[in-house]
Structure 1
Amino acid sequence: MVSEPVVFIDGEAGTTGLEISERLLSLPVQIHSVDPARRKDPQARAEAMQAADLVVLCLPDDASRDAVEMIGQFSAQGKRAPKILDASTAFRTAPGWVYGFPELAADQPEAIMRAERVSNPGCYPTGAIALLRPLIDAGVMEPSFPVTINAVSGYTGGGRTMIEEQERAGGPAFLLYGLNLAHKHLPEIRQHALLDRRPIFVPSVGHFPRGMIVSIPVHMDLLVKGTTVEDLRRILEEHYAASSFVTVAGPENTLVADTMAGSDGMELRVHADAEGRHAVLTARLDNLGKGASGAAIQNIALMLGISPN
């Protein structure tokens, strides 16, 4: 009888860690946990990592780097090293890491399946890359296209401090941030969308727990000559035709950001004016679903060779 693979979540008590732990109950895996009193004990963590087939890191960037270094020492010590799925931003553009967006390209699921180290995408980049990469690959959008990305997320994506600020009486209804135009997700978006030109990215947080809309305005005459709104829709539909998680829906006049809350799916749309001169590409998802723990479950299933339910 083949035993179920063992998964250890380092950082299980955080928002993403708790979500992943709950969702793992749907997979045929064993969850290895550390006594809460020893969660920050390096020895206890090292023992848990050595007992696991896959370690999921739900830690701040520096702590993730330390954990990866710890795991890297196992082989030198003659010990078995587990696979790693990292949920921080530390390795999303790092050499030797596979980007954990299975829908990125036709061969991406196979790359994730074979990888020892996978970086889980960010929530904002998931929506932006999902819209941009197929158009770049299809040749209708040049890598030098002047991309502007606007996005609004539920406040749960901002961590404990933001959650506390939002849930107390008088929390801000809408918060625009990243106005130094140097958000930490920019390198990830640029690299995996294959953009030569640095995009302008303006994120925001709304006074709702979960959900997200990423929107990208497009002047159609700046695309490759002859490209139509129908071409954009067709390219997205063809790219995601086989996906169980990403769908291309019809345009709407209004979109509510938290409609996908609790879902692991993502909806893409192409909205346009009547003349087809301007378009707005939108992605709607749950920032804690397809934008975080839902994507992690997809990647865990691929890395362990099992099918998600």
Structure 2
Amino acid sequence: MKKIFVDGLTGTTGLVINERLSHYDEIEILQIDEHKKKDLEEKKKFLNAADIVFLCLPDQAAKESVALIDNPNTKVIDASTAHRTHKDWAYGIPELSEDHRKRIMTSNRVANPGCHASAFALAMYPLVKAGILGDDYPVTVHTLTGYSGGGKELIAKYEDSSEFNPYHQAPRHYGLGLNHKHLPEMKLHAGLSEEPLFNPIVGNFYKGLVATIPIKTSLMKIKKTGREIQQFLADYYKKSYFVRVNPYDSNDNLFDGGFDVTGSNDTNYCDLFVFGNDEKGTMVIMSRLDNLGKGASGAALQNMNIMLGLDEWTHLI
């Protein structure tokens, strides 16, 4: 039986991972005494006793925990941004390619991706890899996400009546300094030579995320219509269990005439959509997921399943 330790149980991701681990018969969950969790020697014992450690910590704390591990057999899945562009860490989106999957399978260090970056890379990476879009394509991506993506502090602002402000009722743009912490991994893992223009928006709903990427056929290296892009993505992901490519430009993808950002909630799926106007040579690729599922805890558990040699969908469906 494999031993699992979650370092950082107070945050949103850590709490969800710990709850979902309770459904596994194949593992033993190691739990540090609440009063000793800041004792580094005690923490070190747990980190080195585990077969797999989940780090659900701020970046600096995650680096400090990694430094405490001297057991060469301990594997780490880091949910922070600390190691997502580190060359020695596997990047935890197995669907991107067989090389990504094999590296996760054989690595002792896996960086769990960010929610925005996951949605973005799953839409963009295949197109850049195939040369349909150049690595210098001037990418703009808009994301709309629920407020749980901002962690406990933002959740409190929306759910605590003493914190709630009328301006929370409308969607809010943020990251307007154009230096969002996900940008380095979005650039690297989509295969781009420049960072995309990233326009994140938070809405007054708990969870759900959609990334919308406008594309012009005239700027493609290999010219394709929206319908052809949808078919290309469908072929690319046909063997991927947790990526679903939906029919092109279909009203079946809409709810009451509009797009439902929460439609992938409570699943580990990333749903891809292509809407377009082939006559004008314009399209949008939309990539939807649960920011607490495939965008966080679900992805972490999927990576754990792969690292342990389990079916990747174990306890995720």
Shift of 1:127: 0.5
| Alpha carbons 1:123, 1:292 under 8 Å: kept | yes
Residue 50 (structure 1) aligns with? 48
Q: Say if 2:237 is the partner of 1:240.
A: yes
Give, in whole Å, the separation in 2 of the partners of 1:187 and 1:107: 20
Q: Say if 2:308 is the partner of 1:272.
A: no
Give, in whole Å, the separation in 2 of the partners of 1:166 and 1:262: 20
SS in 1 for 2:68: helix
Aligned to 2:94, which of 98, 102, 115? 102
Q: Say if 2:185 is the partner of 1:181.
A: no
The verdict on how the C-alpha distance between 1:287 and 1:296 changes in structure 2, with shifts beyond 3 A counting, is same
Shift of 1:25: 2.7
The verdict on how the C-alpha distance between 1:274 and 1:139 changes in structure 2, with shifts beyond 3 A counting, is closer
Q: Say if 2:128 is the partner of 1:136.
A: yes
Give, in whole Å, the separation in 2 of the partners of 1:70 and 1:291: 27
Give, in whole Å, the separation in 1 of the partners of 2:115 and 2:211: 9
Q: Counterparts of 1:155-174 in structure 2 under 5 Å?
A: 155-169=147-161, 170-171=164-165, 172-173=168-169, 174=171
Residue 152 (structure 1) aligns with? 144
Q: Say if 2:298 is the partner of 1:306.
A: no
**What is the TM-score with the length of structure 2 in the denominator?**
0.91
Aligned to 1:258, which of 232, 256, 262? 262
Aligned to 2:226, which of 199, 216, 229? 229
- Deviation digits for residues 232-270 of structure 1, max 9, x if unmatched? 112211111111111001234521112222111110011
SS in 1 for 2:95: coil
Aligned to 2:60, which of 45, 56, 62? 62
| Alpha carbons 2:187, 2:196 under 8 Å: kept | yes
Residue 287 (structure 1) aligns with? 291
SS in 2 for 1:158: helix
Q: Counterparts of 1:33-44 in structure 2 under 5 Å?
A: 33-44=31-42
| Alpha carbons 1:229, 1:276 under 8 Å: kept | no
The verdict on how the C-alpha distance between 1:26 and 1:243 changes in structure 2, with shifts beyond 3 A counting, is farther
- Identity across matched positions, percent: 39
**What is the TM-score with the length of structure 1 in the denominator?**
0.94
Aligned to 2:78, which of 65, 86, 107? 86
SS in 2 for 1:214: strand
Shift of 1:275: 1.5
Give, in whole Å, the separation in 1 of the partners of 2:31 and 2:108: 21
- Deviation digits for residues 92-135 of structure 1, max 9, x if unmatched? 00120000001111222211010010000000000000000000
Shift of 1:230: 2.3
| Alpha carbons 1:228, 1:276 under 8 Å: kept | no
- Deviation digits for residues 53-72 of structure 1, max 9, x if unmatched? 0111000000001111111x
- Deviation digits for residues 28-64 of structure 1, max 9, x if unmatched? 2111111122222212211111210011100000000
Q: Say if 2:198 is the partner of 1:201.
A: yes
Residue 8 (structure 1) aligns with? 5
Q: How many residues align?
A: 300
Give, in whole Å, the separation in 1 of the partners of 2:234 and 2:22: 32
Give, in whole Å, the separation in 2 of the partners of 1:166 and 1:303: 37
Shift of 1:80: 4.8
Residue 301 (structure 2) aligns with? 297
Off by >4 Å, runs of 4+ in structure 1: none
Give, in whole Å, the separation in 1 of the partners of 2:280 and 2:297: 37
User: Which has the higher mean CA deviation after the structures are superposed, 163-172 or 150-159?
Assistant: 163-172
| Alpha carbons 2:138, 2:196 under 8 Å: kept | yes
| Alpha carbons 2:47, 2:68 under 8 Å: kept | no
Shift of 1:26: 3.4
The verdict on how the C-alpha distance between 1:283 and 1:104 changes in structure 2, with shifts beyond 3 A counting, is same
User: What is the one-letter code of the residue matched to 2:139?
Assistant: V
Give, in whole Å, the separation in 1 of the partners of 2:88 and 2:144: 31
User: Which has the higher mean CA deviation after the structures are superposed, 273-282 or 215-224?
Assistant: 273-282
| Alpha carbons 1:264, 1:295 under 8 Å: kept | yes
Give, in whole Å, the separation in 1 of the partners of 2:267 and 2:261: 13
